[in-house]
Amino acid sequence: MSKHKPEQTLLIVEDDTGLSSQLRWHFDQYNVVLAEDRPSAIAAVRQFEPAVVLQDLGLPPDDEGVEEGFKTVQEIMRLAPSTKIIVITGNHDYENAVRAVALGAYDFYQKPINADTLNLIVERAYNIYDLEQENRRLQDQRAAPLSGVIASDPLMLKVCRTVEKVAPTNVTCTLLGESGTGKEVLARAVHNLSPRSDKRFVAINCAAVPENLMESELFGYEKGAFTGANKRTLGKVETAHEGTLFLDEIGDMPLPLQAKLLRFLQERVIERVGGREEIPVDVRVVCATNKNLEAMVAEGTFREDLYYRICEMVILIPPLRERQGDKILLARHFLEKFTDGQDSKISGFSPEATEAIEAYHWPGNIREMENKIKRAVIMCEDKYISSLDLALSNPGMLSINLRSVRQEAERTAIKQALSMTEGNYSAAAKLLGITRPTLYDLIKKYDINVPGE
């Protein structure tokens, strides 16, 4: 038999050999895989990644019966959440069928089996599976608003729209964000979307160049300007002529050099170290820093006039922990990047790994995530990357249970109201939009300490 794609594989979990043979014959248009119990079913899911599973709810051993079937449903859904499970139950076993659906099964069918009806249910399951896969593919396409940017979070999409508006202009802009948030990626996007895209993009990290070399690195030097200057050398500014100059970590630029940079930004001319000639330069300047420039201006460590010159347009980049939905999106992107073309057996993340990715704080932002995923791909020995492979320190537990989220929100709101009103029950109840008796009940329910008591 020729090799089939995962979406063409049908796993039939049935301990009755006669019935499983009949079903295999009926579904001969699929790559049918048979399993007779939970261990063999789980092994088949790992190996063949079936799009649809047809499972008898009553599985051996006989002393466990239907409970074993429920465990099989749960484990399959844990391993492959997108798989469509159709459970087959007894004629009068409606309650267990509903329970199986509640555990994650796609649909159920009650015996006696009518092959044509069952065939329609299986075909529908494949259609739903294909639609979901196509939807995920389209979402991934939409998740790339700018070249090199993977995002679906509203705040980040707003940043991308701002970049699109700023890029065609010649305005000097500054990207503010924590280390690892992708400032250089966005700076390149500004360049690529600008009329200067066919010219050079020149980057310099102001924190990586020693202070005594910074001026010559930026503006170049003439032959004989200092010991070792054996020839005229162009600086980064001149090299970027007609293109874009990216000044990364500009908050680390020494104060004496800030004055010279300000003169260049005002006059658009430079003087090489050791030279007297004024050289006009046409360049678009984009800056970035992870420091608070306003605070530095107040402290006197950053020139106020330079601050206003480089901040004609400020773009704030949110940290990864504040980007809703982007964590797992980026994780999947990096997983594909590091497994593409390597004949890797890794198919994705385990549910525990997905939860750890969403719960982790990511202090190093996107750069940290890229390194973690790269390490996990190297260390993973299974088909799915686990939370242990990711080696996340104290990832915490992600709560997506609506009741617990609502209770935590209520508890927080009550504490804030009591704090704002200094423990005044009537005022706090009014702020919360509830009655005093209701407030008393909630304080007792959540065991909240009231200020002043």
Q: CB neighbours (10 Å) of residue 363?
A: 13
Choices 3.40.50.2300, 3.90.1150.10, 3.40.50.300, 1.10.3720.10: CATH for 6-141: 3.40.50.2300
Residue 85 β-bridge partners: 53
In whole angstroms, what is the distance from residue 26 CA to residue 21 CA?
9
Q: How many CB atoms lie within 10 A of CB 380?
A: 22
Cβ atoms of 260 and 303 within 8 Å: the answer is no
Domain boundaries, the chain: 6-141, 154-316, 321-390, 402-446
Own/partner long-range contacts of 226-229 (Cβ < 8 Å, ≥24 apart): 226/273, 226/274, 229/274
Which residues have C-beta within 8 Å of that of residue 31, sequence separation ≥ 6?
1, 4, 8, 9, 10, 48
Architecture (CATH level 2) of domain 321-390: Orthogonal Bundle (1.10)
Per-residue pLDDT of the chain (453 residues; tens, 9 = 90+): 334 444 589 999 998 888 889 899 999 889 999 999 999 999 899 888 899 999 998 887 765 668 888 999 999 998 888 899 999 988 778 888 889 998 889 999 988 888 888 989 999 999 999 888 888 776 655 545 687 888 888 899 899 999 999 999 999 999 999 999 999 999 999 999 999 999 999 999 999 999 889 999 999 999 988 888 899 999 999 999 999 999 999 999 999 999 999 999 999 999 999 998 999 999 999 999 999 999 999 999 999 999 999 999 999 999 999 998 899 989 999 999 999 877 788 888 888 888 889 889 999 999 999 999 999 999 888 888 988 899 885 555 454 556 666 777 888 888 888 877 878 888 888 888 889 888 988 888 888 877 655
**From 3.40.50.2300, 3.40.50.300, 1.20.1250.20, 3.40.50.720, which CATH number describes the 154-316 domain?**
3.40.50.300
Q: Do domains 6-141 and 402-446 have the same CATH topology?
A: no
Cα end-to-end span (Å), the chain: 77
Q: 402-446 falls under which CATH superfamily?
A: Homeodomain-like (1.10.10.60)
